[in-house]
Structure 1
Amino acid sequence: MPRQVVAFTCGYFFGVILGLVYATLTVTIAAAITYKVASLFQQSYIASKYKKQLTKLHNFLSVDTFLKALVIRLLPVGSNFLTNILAGIANIPLRPYIAGSCLGFIPQMAIFSLAGSGVKLADSAHIGAAAILFLIATIIGYHLYKTRKSELN
């Protein structure tokens, strides 16, 4: 289930604050469970078939895992389910991955919990929130790029 639906539903039933807390905990726990189940398949046919790609993914995400997971979660694109499966199969470090994911979930959880609770958000508020999330992700991405570039030199 998309995390936005979880946040909207929690906001509707529990209000903004509790909805935000419950939704964030729910999607974080779901991410950890999906990761752990996927990690059981590290030796599977799929993992052996795509070993080269998974090794590249592991090497990339194993450095600054927290920040990279945060950036991935701040961007409102992609599939959480697929991201968690790939992270589990690629054996990305669990704790920083889940911590970065949890923190990265919060902005969208807040927006959809507000919407679910009945608080009317103007279109400009949605656009502003999206712009801020994009700016934060860009800044962190640039930092990671510069750090990684200096490590390679």
Structure 2
Amino acid sequence: MSAARGTPATRTRRALGAAGRMAVLAAGLGVAGWIIRTLGLAPGGETGMEWVDHWIRGQGLWGEALFLLAGTAATAAGLPRQAVAFLGGYAFGAAIGTALALLAQLLGCAVSFGWARLLGRDWAARRLEGRFGRHLRPLHNRLVSSPFGATLALRLLPVGNNLALNLLAGLSSVRLVPYLAGSALGYLPQTLVFALLGDGVAVDRTAQLILGALLFLVSVALGVWLLKREPPAG
């Protein structure tokens, strides 16, 4: 038996440790989801606009801080980031709503990325070598080889799962700084679009709603173009 493999007891401890880390990872995401449901942001509870009317609008710095906290927890747990941007625009207007929603999205991105990296990277590295990894390997390789460009292109598209991408990046060897930079720039167009839509709903500005829809289409087209320009993963 090679030293790299270790004794059966060592392998057992490693397996139990990996299982424990993954359990903590799942529990953390579950707690974030519970916070969202408690705040009334989950489907079936108080609607987002009702929650904002009750807790956020007109509350000054307290409302902004609570929105930032709730938006971070929401995006970290998988709530669509566009919903956070819409509620930001509804609560604070397009400019401030965009800034606060973008910050909440980035914090949520960093939380889920860091949570996955801290607890599950070794487990993921082994899985990427097996049958499970064959489906994720192309995306993983593209993110690793071009973390800023690939992330930027993927963030501009309205498809995909924000949380899943954060977890995949955290579980892999993707570098954090370019990943967050690409996320920030890629989040911005749709964050602005949905903040404009939320602001338009709040003040009944039809022209603003139309502008938001047009900007959304431009964002999607740009994402597709950038993704096609990205070199294929090796």
Coarse TM-score class (shorter-chain normalised)? 0.7 to 0.9
Gapped regions of structure 2 (runs ≥ 5)? 1-78
SS in 1 for 2:230: helix
Change (3 A) 1:9 1:124: closer
Maintained 8 Å contact 1:38/1:88: yes
Distance (whole Å) between structure 2 residues aligned to residue 32 and residue 96 of structure 1 = 12
- Aligned equivalents of 2:81 and 2:212: distance in 1? 20
Conserved 8 A contact 1:10-1:23: yes
Q: 1:90 is matched with which residue: 172, 178, 184?
A: 172
Which residue of structure 1 lines up, in the alignment, with residue 121 of structure 2? 42
Q: Which has the larger radius of gyration?
A: 2
What number of residue pairs does the alignment pair up?
Answer: 146
Q: Is the 8 A contact 2:142 2:150 kept in 1?
A: no
> Structure 1 runs of 4+ off > 6 angstroms?
none
Aligned-pair identity in percent equals 33
**Mapped partners of 1:15, 1:109: distance in 2:** 12
| Alpha-carbon distance between aligned partners in 2 of 1:47 and 1:122, rounded to the nearest angstrom | 45
Q: 1:16 to 1:33 in 2, by over 3 A?
A: same
Find out whether 1:132 has 2:218 as its counterpart.
yes
CA displacement at 1:55 relative to structure 2: 5.5
Contact 1:57 1:90 in 2 (8 A): no
Which residue is equivalent to 1:61? Answer: 143
Decide whether the 8 Å contact of 2:106 with 2:183 is kept in 1. yes
**Alpha-carbon shift at residue 64 of structure 1 (Å):** 2.0
**Alpha-carbon distance in structure 1 between the residues aligned to 2:92 and 2:109:** 22
Superposition deviation, residue 48 in structure 1:
2.5
Give the equivalent residue in structure 1 for 2:107.
29
TM-score (normalised: structure 2): 0.56
Structure with more relative contact order (C-alpha pairs < 8 Å, separation 6 or more): 1
CA distance 1:6–1:43, shift in 2 (3 Å):
same
1:9-24 correspondence to structure 2 within 5 Å: 9-24=87-102
CA RMSD of aligned residues (A): 2.3
AA partner of residue 129 (structure 1): L
SS of 1:78's equivalent in the other structure is coil
